[in-house]
Structure 1
Amino acid sequence: MAFATVLATAPAAEAAEAAERRAPVRITRFLGEQRIPYKMTFQGTTVGGLSGVDRDPRTGTWYLISDDRDRYNPARFYTGHLDINRRTGDFTGVRLTGVRTLTRPDGTPYPGYGRPGAADPETIRFDRWTGRLVWGDEGDRPDARNPDIPISQPAIRRTDLNGRQVGEFALPRNLRLTNTERGPRRNFGFEGLAVTARSVTAVTEGPRYEDGPLPTAERGSLARITVWDRQGRPRGQYAYRLDRLPEPPNPPTGDADTGVSEILAIDDHRYLALERSWIEGVNYRVKLYEIDLRGASNVLGRDSLARGGYRPVGKRLVYDLGTFRPPVQNLESLSWGPRLAGGECTLVIGSDDNFDERETTRFMAFAATGCPSGQ
């Protein structure tokens, strides 16, 4: 009788788990906030510019990447712990435990800002299937305001846990930076990264020149999501429709930009996406979306998206962070945290302070449902 009961309940449990994976992600409650002091020093480095975080679910170690390009110290990432109580969900602390310099295959640090081969680290993931790290380099290029910047191509790189590069993904031709109005714009390259058992996915922050103008308060624009196989070969690319600016700049001639600052895998097709705007006279505005690549057109072979004729990825609003715990910060980090005893998972969203005393390095933790298993 017991054996029969096991046979009867096992498929039901598997079906329930599959339904949980397919359920949309929903934020259920806020768990707390922690901050790192402005320009805190740690093991001889200046902490700031934390633009990506991720967690090793096996050890509980967190990895935090800085987008400092040798203004203070060479390109680097930190290890640490975010203290989230699995029973209550209380988020009580954040502490750093180590720092590693990101290095090239020969073991030397990447050159600093404005030098050939400079790196601009923007996102990091722990790859549980290899035990290594994957990080995104936005690259750099000249533009009208910065005509003397040399071209440094964007990249998705593998590194060991000591920071040494051990591999690099093939860069699609349409994402190569140039010194003309072709390819990605400056500061609109790789900004978000996600890793699953079958693929590695990255998103450009904003539109390439050929894909249309930057968003305004009247109209949105397009970014590109690229999917690689586990060997680092591009297998698809998809159009992500950016919202229009939530408000016009003040004054109307002021600066503004909007784009995807991070993505996070839910499964092999669905991701969370942070869509962040900065608007002069308004400050930051951020929304969290769930997106789905299924049904979207593969635009890897398309040089331009400006004329349409394709289907973009599906997109559903999960949470509007634009008025949450003001002032809204420069939210750039997104990671799953530990599973809570009650079954909810945790979602951590972090801000990059840009090494600016007017901004903060803030981590906010939320409980959520519809999350992947294994957290």
Structure 2
Amino acid sequence: MAIVVAFAVAAANVTPPASAAGRRDPVRITRFLGEQRLPHLTRFEGTAVGGLSGIDRDPRTGTWYFLSDDRWRYNPARFYTGHLDIDRVSGAFNGVHLTGVTTLTRADGTPYPAYGKPESADPETIRFDRRGGRLLWGDEGDRPDRRNPAIPISTSTVRAMDLQGRHLAELRPPRNLQLTDAERGPRRNFGFEGLAVTARSIVAVTEGPRFEDGPLPTVERGAPARLTVWSRQGRLRGQFVYPLDALPAAPVPPGGEADSGVSEILAIDEYRYLALERAWIEGVNYRVRLYEIDLRGATDVLDRRSLERGRPYRAVAKRLVYDLSSVSVPVQNLESMAWGPRLVSGECTLVIGSDDNFNQQEVTQFLAFGATGCR
């Protein structure tokens, strides 16, 4: 049935000087190709479609993978397969087709437990590893906080699974990103949120700052997130600082809530990545920007316990590519990003998707763009 609807070594080994790697044209968005949406709580093969936090594409078959962060509110942790109908001649984005659904399973073959239970998973990002023929996915993990003191600790990590959702392996997270029940390590909901894979590396980024790295972003200042690099064999290679922007607006009313961080990354080459930086601000709604970052020249901070104190460091270089807040009104909770097919024009296609949080006031949305400088 198908539904058719609209890893630690010296930093020099990870980030060589620019002369060693060469410079390439920056990524530029050339045009908006279109938008498609899935109806709220679309039913597919006995599941509720929503919470799509990660997307990626197998370039050999054209199969797309859509990861749901549903934690058994409706169904177990799962991913969907399907196709996006993008015309390679005109670039027109004409539809979304779901073709399958697969449950994520643990090493013992059972589904991950529901929210609030030990060993529960919080799937936030997915990548097809074409060199290994497997899927990699990021688990944000969970931990207690003042509002949710009974939540058990579950690991924030990157896992590998086969195309049937069966567990294959798990990357060892760095010690400084292990979740705890104290005010150290990553805050709740600020574990691994974005994931990228290259010919030589697996890279994951935390959504926001650890307790030891300083306070959350405000309208006056930004904050540091940590981007971790492993070898493809799972050995820690380094860790770098992604500098989050200050909040783009103040909450309404003053003192209201706000949440800001990196929601996804996507490899351009071995050293350059696209990054989605998303903020939700009470009384303002979502604001999302797309950046290009470059690891070359950044300081390896893997051995630093705090970024708020101690020696100075150099963060990754960061360049604004596109303000996504201008594309669709109201702006949605954009959390996923992947390369689509190359167009006859030579442009790459970039697809950015939203997580509707299973909320009727939000939507599951896919935005497609033409781009240059991508590969």
Give the TM-score category using the shorter length: over 0.9
Identity of aligned residues (%): 73
Q: Distance in 2 between matches of 1:197 and 1:127?
A: 9
Of the three residues 345, 348, 353, the one matched with 1:345 is: 348
Are residues 1:366 and 2:337 paired? no
Alignment of 1:1-375 (within 5 A): 22-307=24-309, 309-372=312-375
Q: Distance in 2 between matches of 1:184 and 1:227?
A: 17
Q: Distance in 2 between matches of 1:36 and 1:190?
A: 26
TM-score normalised per structure 2:
0.93
Following TM superposition, by how much is the alpha carbon of 1:155 offset from its aligned partner in structure 2, in angstroms?
1.2
2:174 partner letter: P
1:361 partner letter: T
Q: Distance in 2 between matches of 1:123 and 1:95?
A: 20
Q: Distance in 1 between matches of 2:241 and 2:308?
A: 11
Q: Distance in 2 between matches of 1:131 and 1:23?
A: 29
String of CA shifts for 1:134-182, please: whole Å, max 9, x gaps. Answer: 0000000000000000000111000000001100001100000000000
String of CA shifts for 1:316-348, please: whole Å, max 9, x gaps. Answer: 000011222110000001000000001001000
- Provide structure 2 residue ranges, at least 5 long, that are not aligned to the other structure: 1-20
Q: Distance in 2 between matches of 1:214 and 1:246?
A: 13
1:330 partner letter: N
TM-score normalised per structure 1:
0.93
Secondary structure, counterpart of 1:22 in structure 2 = coil
Q: Distance in 2 between matches of 1:317 and 1:253?
A: 28
Q: Distance in 1 between matches of 2:144 and 2:336?
A: 27
Q: Distance in 1 between matches of 2:259 and 2:358?
A: 19
String of CA shifts for 1:78-125, please: whole Å, max 9, x gaps. Answer: 001000000110000001000000001111001110000000000000
Following TM superposition, by how much is the alpha carbon of 1:257 offset from its aligned partner in structure 2, in angstroms?
1.1
Secondary structure, counterpart of 2:80 in structure 1 = strand
Q: Distance in 2 between matches of 1:37 and 1:285?
A: 23
Secondary structure, counterpart of 1:174 in structure 2 = helix
2:335 partner letter: E
- Of stretches 21-30 and 324-333 in structure 1, the one that deviates more from structure 2 is 21-30
Q: Distance in 1 between matches of 2:259 and 2:90?
A: 38
2:160 partner letter: R
- Provide structure 1 residue ranges, at least 5 long, that are not aligned to the other structure: 1-17
Q: Distance in 1 between matches of 2:163 and 2:328?
A: 34
Q: Distance in 1 between matches of 2:241 and 2:216?
A: 15
Structure number with larger C-alpha Rg: 1
Q: Distance in 2 between matches of 1:231 and 1:93?
A: 37
1:168 partner letter: E
- Of stretches 344-353 and 299-308 in structure 1, the one that deviates more from structure 2 is 299-308
Q: Distance in 2 between matches of 1:163 and 1:206?
A: 28
1:195 partner letter: V
Q: Distance in 2 between matches of 1:362 and 1:39?
A: 13
Q: Distance in 2 between matches of 1:364 and 1:141?
A: 33
1:206 partner letter: G
Following TM superposition, by how much is the alpha carbon of 1:211 offset from its aligned partner in structure 2, in angstroms?
0.3
String of CA shifts for 1:233-284, please: whole Å, max 9, x gaps. Answer: 1100001100000001001121001000000000000000000000000000
2:11 matched to which residue of 1?
none
4+ residue segments displaced more than 4 Å:
none
